Amino acid sequence: MSASSDVKGLARRLFEAQHERHPIPLLTNERAISQREAYDIQWALVEEHLARGGKVVGKKTGLTSKAKQVQMNTSEPLYAYLIDRTILNDGAQIKRADLIHPRVECEIAFFMGRQLHGPGVSGGQVLEATKHVLPALEVIDSRYDNFKFTLPDVVADQASAAYVVLGGKARSPKGLDLRLLGMVLEINGELAATGSGSAVLGHPADSVAWLVNKMAEMGAGGLEEGDLVMAGGLVEAFPVEPGDHLRAEFDHLGPVSLKCV
């Protein structure tokens, strides 16, 4: 088998797992996968969505906080592409039956006012190129058995991306200290976690800068005007089941919520 048909075959496996809501064993159980190949498989997976009319509307970083790295037993961040039909409005209902074993994360989302390409991009340059920031919940859903993986596996699996729920007020980051911006997550009315922007690589803009520079390193371009960028979970991810209502309240940016049905 040629290397490129192997990449497509592995992407196809992940695509079918997404579609059939059926978890699969790790790709790395069969053979070692390099970082380069892992991003190639992810891109081939994205192409499966593009071939069905999906559009790339942004990017996400993941595993940028200590809480997430400890939870997933990894020590390096990653990036992935976001597809248009997965972006939902505040208060969205997500169907448990559409997913394998969903978990929810609290994040700060960036909306880019202009393009930004690495290498050498700083957090300050990210803030200058940002039109506004929004409070967000990300629904992740690993396509692997038991929500366990190694870094190349999760890179190939589009960083477990399932949905993004955008809420609150869109605000320019100018005049906001995103590092100290606090958030509180309530699940079914009970306090579940508190966090702040500093959790993601010290500052959410530094997390976005990491993504831009990593994309440059991988020869994958960077951020485009109008891109939505998720800066990574500030606290660990929480499993959700039907009936659950999650609401995060961010300083200055307001609330964002979703319901699992």
Residue nearest to ligand OOG (CB): 62
CB of 232 to Mg ion, least distance (A): 5
Q: With CB cut-offs between 5 and 8 Å by kind, which of Mg ion, ligand OOG, none does residue 196 bind? A: none
Q: How many residues does the chain have?
A: 261
Three-class DSSP category at 159:
helix
Nearest to residue 137, comparing CAs of 235, 21, 57, 242?
A: 235
Contact 152, 28 (CB under 8 A): yes
CB of 199 to ligand OOG, least distance (A): 10
CB of 226 to ligand OOG, least distance (A): 21
Distance CA 38, CA 157 (A): 9
Name the site residues for ligand OOG (rule: CB under 6 A).
60, 62-64, 68, 72, 105, 138, 140, 142, 154, 159-160, 232-233
Contact 166, 176 (CB under 8 A): no
CB of 61 to Mg ion, least distance (A): 8
Distance CA 72, CA 60 (A): 17
Contact 83, 49 (CB under 8 A): yes
Distance CA 220, CA 56 (A): 13
Q: Which DSSP symbol is given to 128?
A: H
Name the site residues for Mg ion (rule: CB under 5 A).
62, 105, 138, 233
Nearer to Mg ion, 29 or 73 (CB): 73
Q: With CB cut-offs between 5 and 8 Å by kind, which of Mg ion, ligand OOG, none does residue 167 bind? A: none
CB of 207 to ligand OOG, least distance (A): 9
Nearer to Mg ion, 77 or 118 (CB): 77
Q: With CB cut-offs between 5 and 8 Å by kind, which of ligand OOG, Mg ion, none does residue 141 bind? A: none
* Phi and psi at residue 164, to the nearest 5°: -125, 130
Nearer to ligand OOG, 40 or 141 (CB): 141
Nearer to ligand OOG, 23 or 128 (CB): 23
**What token pair was written down for 96?**
């448990």
